[in-house]
Every structure is written in C-alpha cells, then in structure tokens.
C-alpha cells in the first residue's frame, strides 16, 4: 500500500505539472529540417544517389560535347569513356557508345594527308588514309567536308595558292574515284598561310604540306 500510495502521489504531482505547463507559453518547436526530412529508407536513398550520379554523368557528357565542339576529340573520347566506366546505366553512359563511334569516324575523316614538295599527286601513304576515310564516309553520306590544301614555307607565296588548290582538288578527285559523291566536298587553298608546324626543317615542311579535312556539318554524322 505504501508503495501504491507513493505511485499515486507521483501521478498527482505529474498531473499538477502537466496542468501547470498548459498555462505557460508553448515550448520552441523543433527545427523544421528535422520535421521535413523523411526518415531515410533504402528506396529513397538509392533514388537520391541515382539522381546525383545522373547529374554527374550529364556534366561529363556536357563537357565532352563542348570538347567535341572545340575540336578536342581526344578529350571528348576520354570523357565519354569515363562516363561508360563510372556511370553505367545513366543516359550519358548509354549515349556515350554512339558518341565514341562518331568520334572514331571523325578522327578517321579528319586525318591529314601529306604531299611531296611542289607536288600534288596522292602518295601511297595518303591513298591508304583516303581509303579508310572513304570507308567511313560511305556510312555518312550527308556529311559535308571542306578540304583545305596547304603548302610548306619554301614555295612562293602566290604560287602556293595555286598549288594548295591543286592538292585539295586532287584529294577530292581521289575520294570521288573511290565512289563518293563530289557533292560532299568543298575545297579551299590556304597556300602557305596557315602552317601547323614551325621551323625550317624537313619535319616541319612535311607536316605543313597537307590536306586538312574540316567537317562543316557535324549533325549529319
């Protein structure tokens, strides 16, 4: 009984305490965050992580697209490969394969061909490069290319205008002989105005005696 009496007294005290609280200002509410964040469960955690992954992958893809637009295909390739490796299943990773195939095609299309001094004939090494190009271009018949003819520093400025044009024309002629449509190609000669290698040595001269392949219509790929 004594024990019961004590419990009863405690209950009374508690009841008084509750009644006293009811008459005072309400206590500070708990922080909003604590109220709004749902208790994490496994499903929602995975969703958050998936969203974060997708966003990171999308950033990679954007970066890769920018690199492609800037002509930095090596970087674009490495970014798409990273997307495939690290973000499998994301939209970016799913499209990366197609993009990598396009980059491969672009690299083949853009590979330069080179010429001998004061010559515009297609050398054997250039023929192999053009053959590979033609194989790719057949799959992309709507591509438009500008083929630029360039010369090294040793020729005359003005004569090189004509020589560069002849190099570009002969390159087109060779591609057409492989079955491609002449409509795919424009040509321009830059003579020796736009060297890619500096220096007065055979390595630089050889690098500069070239045809460049500029893709005017990426969308067609």
Partner 1 sequence: MMGRKPATWGLMVVALTASLAGVARAQDPGDVRVGITYTPGYLPGLVMTPVESQGAMGDLAARVDSVLRRDLDYADRFQIIPVPDDLPIEGPVNYGLWNQLGAVWLVVSELTGTPDLPVLRVSLHDVVFSELKEVKAFSLPRPTDSGFRMELHRVSDEVVKWATGEPGIAATRIVFRRMVTPTASDLFLIDSDGYGLRRLTHEAATDDSSIVLSPELSPNGRYVAYVSYRTGKPVVYELDLVTGADRTISDIGKINITPVYSPDGRRILFGRTQDDHTELFEVQRDPLCCTRRVTYTSTGETLGGAYSPDGRQLAITSTPLGNPQIYVMDLQRGGDPSIVSRYVFGERGYATSPDWSPRGDRIAYHTWVDSWFQIVTVNPNGTDRRVMTSRGSNEDPSWAPDGRHLVFAGTLRGYYALWVLDTVSGRLRSVTVNNVDQLPHWSDPLAPGS
Interacting residues toward partner 1 by CB under 8 A: 117-118, 154-159, 161-163, 165-166, 169, 187-190, 193-194, 200-202
Which is closer to partner 1, CB of 8 or CB of 157? 157
In the bound state with partner 1, the residue whose beta carbon lies nearer, of 139 and 173, is 173
DSSP-assigned states of every residue in 135-189: HHHTT-TT--EEEEEE--TTS-HHHHHHHHHHHHHHHHHHHHHTT--GGGEEEEE
Phi-psi region of 172 (alpha: psi -120 to 50; beta: other; left: phi over 0): alpha
6 vs 173, beta carbon nearer partner 1: 173
Least separation in angstroms between CB 151 and partner 1: 12
Q: How far is the CB of 101 from partner 1 (least distance, A)?
A: 30
Based on CB atoms, which residue is closest to partner 1, 78 or 177? Answer: 177
Closest CA to 191 of 174, 167, 171, 173: 167
d(CA 143, CA 163): 26
- Nearest Cα neighbor of 167 from 114, 91, 101 is 114
Give me the residue label for tokens 């055979």. Answer: 202
Distance between CA atoms of residues 191 and 163, nearest Å: 7
CB atoms within 10 A of CB 212: 20
Supply the minimum distance, in Å, between the C-beta of residue 122 and partner 1: 15
CB of 183 to partner 1, least distance (A): 16
Q: Which is nearer to partner 1, 105 or 211 (CB)?
A: 211
Least distance to partner 1, CB of residue 107, Å:
24
């Amino acid at each position: 009984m004594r024990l019961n009496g004590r419990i009863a007294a405690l209950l009374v005290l508690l009841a008084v305490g509750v009644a006293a609280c009811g008459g005072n200002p309400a206590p500070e509410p708990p922080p909003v965050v604590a109220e709004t964040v749902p208790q994490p469960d496994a499903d929602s955690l995975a969703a958050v992580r998936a969203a974060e992954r997708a966003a990171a992958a999308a950033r990679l893809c954007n970066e890769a697209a920018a690199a492609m637009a800037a002509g930095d295909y090596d970087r674009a390739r490495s970014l798409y490969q990273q997307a495939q490796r690290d973000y499998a299943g994301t939209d970016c990773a799913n499209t990366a394969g197609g993009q990598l195939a396009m980059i491969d095609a672009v690299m083949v299309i853009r590979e330069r061909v080179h010429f001998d001094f004061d010559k515009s004939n297609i050398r054997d090494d250039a023929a192999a490069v053009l053959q590979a190009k033609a194989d790719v271009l057949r799959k992309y018949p709507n591509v438009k290319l500008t083929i630029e003819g360039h010369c090294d520093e040793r020729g005359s400025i003005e004569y090189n205008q004509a020589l560069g044009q002849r190099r570009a024309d002969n390159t087109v002629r060779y591609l057409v002989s492989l079955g491609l449509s002449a409509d795919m190609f424009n040509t321009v000669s830059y003579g020796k105005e736009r060297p890619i290698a500096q220096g007065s040595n055979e390595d630089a001269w050889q690098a500069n005696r070239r045809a460049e392949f500029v893709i005017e219509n990426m969308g067609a790929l």
